[in-house]
């Protein structure tokens, strides 16, 4: 029987072999991205670039968790180009690993990826901003406003920290984003078209983060299962099976579905039945309806 969580790993969790499906997918992602910029007509290039940008962000997430090589510097190097432009990879890496302390998931202060706010902060927001954030908790709002809101919120939070580590992350990001922009500017695709593609790519990712976590008394009940991910399962590298990823963050993306099927009842008990059959169900249910309040419902001030 295949081992999902320890095969190809040392006792400390580091990988001992190259994961070729991930390596080949990273190469294919860059090739298709280049085709979108240099070969395809604009009407096809924009959506193709958007899809590869979303996939590349998911591959960055995979690399953050130690794939596909045993050497961290090599993993970082092959995924470093910020195709999405706006988020420094090193800062994404640092904040995401902080998010993986399951006991703080959804905490409006200690979870860097929480979509919830503290009630005190909410009460001091202008009414107009409260309305925008309420809209952002619907699928329609998250897909249209989410990339802008998320980018502004991330940049604002980074600015307020003002420490050397954050500054280093952004300084390292600058030459990388300049390199990507040079490629875009010298390609046949206009910069405005690429910015549209980047926004669409972020919008696709916002569908994943829209419901990845919920407020729950138990940390184990905070991560979702969306069983039939369809095309999104590929673009998200099976992170629709999110509780499985949180329980086994070192397991490669292509092993997650079989691992889930082998112990489905266990994972659904573990996350308290936080389950959707498909993203179609999510979209139909919450397109105009807010899934969660903006204020954390269980947070004690």
Let me know if residue 224 belongs to a domain.
Answer: yes
Let me know if residue 7 belongs to a domain.
Answer: no
Which token pair is 82? Answer: 């910020």
Specify which residues 15 forms β-bridges with. Answer: 9
Q: Give dist(CA 107, CA 143) in Å, integer.
A: 23
Which token pair is 201? Answer: 């790519």
**Residue 165 confidence (pLDDT):** 87
**Residue 199 confidence (pLDDT):** 98
**Residue 299 confidence (pLDDT):** 76
> Total structural domains in the chain?
1
Which token pair is 5? Answer: 């969580």
Let me know if residue 153 belongs to a domain.
Answer: yes
Let me know if residue 252 belongs to a domain.
Answer: yes
Q: Give dist(CA 266, CA 90) in Å, integer.
A: 34
- The three-state secondary structure class of 10 is coil
Q: Give dist(CA 298, CA 245) in Å, integer.
A: 24
**Residue 163 confidence (pLDDT):** 86
Let me know if residue 260 belongs to a domain.
Answer: yes
The domain containing residue 164 runs over which residues?
20-286
> Which pTM does this prediction carry?
0.92
> Which residue, among 60, 88, 57, has the nearest Cα to 159 in the 3D structure?
88
Q: Give dist(CA 47, CA 44) in Å, integer.
A: 6
- The three-state secondary structure class of 230 is coil
Specify which residues 241 forms β-bridges with. Answer: 225
Let me know if residue 130 belongs to a domain.
Answer: yes
Let me know if residue 298 belongs to a domain.
Answer: no
**Residue 135 confidence (pLDDT):** 97
Let me know if residue 10 belongs to a domain.
Answer: no
Residues of the chain with confidence (pLDDT) below 70: 1-16, 300-301
- Which tens digits make up the pLDDT trace of 97-148? 999 888 899 998 889 899 999 999 999 999 999 999 999 999 999 999 999 9
> Which residue, among 296, 286, 29, 37, has the nearest Cα to 141 in the 3D structure?
286
Which parts of the chain fold into alpha helices (H)?
20-38, 42-64, 72-79, 89-99, 119-123, 127-135, 139-144, 146-161, 164-186, 191-211, 231-235, 242-247, 256-262, 264-270, 279-286
């Amino acid at each position: 029987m295949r081992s999902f969580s320890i095969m190809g790993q040392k006792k400390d969790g580091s990988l001992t072999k190259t994961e070729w499906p991930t390596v080949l997918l990273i190469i294919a992602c860059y090739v298709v991205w280049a085709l979108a910029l240099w070969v395809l007509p604009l009407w096809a290039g924009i959506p193709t670039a958007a899809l590869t940008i979303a996939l590349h962000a998911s591959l960055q997430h995979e690399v953050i968790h130690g794939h596909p090589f045993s050497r961290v510097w090599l993993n970082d190097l092959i995924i470093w180009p910020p195709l999405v432009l706006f988020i420094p990879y090193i800062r994404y890496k640092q904040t995401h690993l902080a998010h993986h302390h399951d006991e703080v998931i959804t905490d409006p202060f200690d979870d860097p990826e929480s979509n919830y706010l503290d009630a005190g902060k909410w009460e001091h927001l202008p009414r107009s901003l409260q309305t925008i954030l309420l809209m952002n908790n619907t699928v329609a709002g998250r897909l249209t406003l989410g990339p802008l809101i998320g980018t502004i919120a991330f940049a604002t939070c980074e600015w307020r920290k003002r420490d050397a580590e954050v500054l280093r992350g952004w300084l390292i990001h600058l030459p990388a984003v300049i390199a990507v922009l040079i490629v875009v500017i010298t390609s046949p695709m206009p910069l405005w078209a690429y910015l549209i593609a980047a926004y669409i790519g972020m919008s696709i990712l916002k569908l994943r983060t829209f419901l990845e976590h919920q407020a729950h008394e138990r940390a184990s009940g905070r991560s979702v299962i969306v069983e039939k991910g369809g095309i999104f399962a590929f673009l998200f590298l099976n992170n629709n099976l999110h509780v499985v990823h949180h329980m086994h963050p070192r397991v490669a993306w292509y092993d997650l579905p079989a691992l889930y099927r082998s112990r489905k009842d266990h994972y659904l008990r573990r996350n308290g039945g936080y389950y959707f059959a498909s993203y179609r169900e999510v979209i139909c249910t919450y397109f105009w309806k807010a899934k969660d309040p903006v204020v954390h419902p269980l947070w004690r001030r």
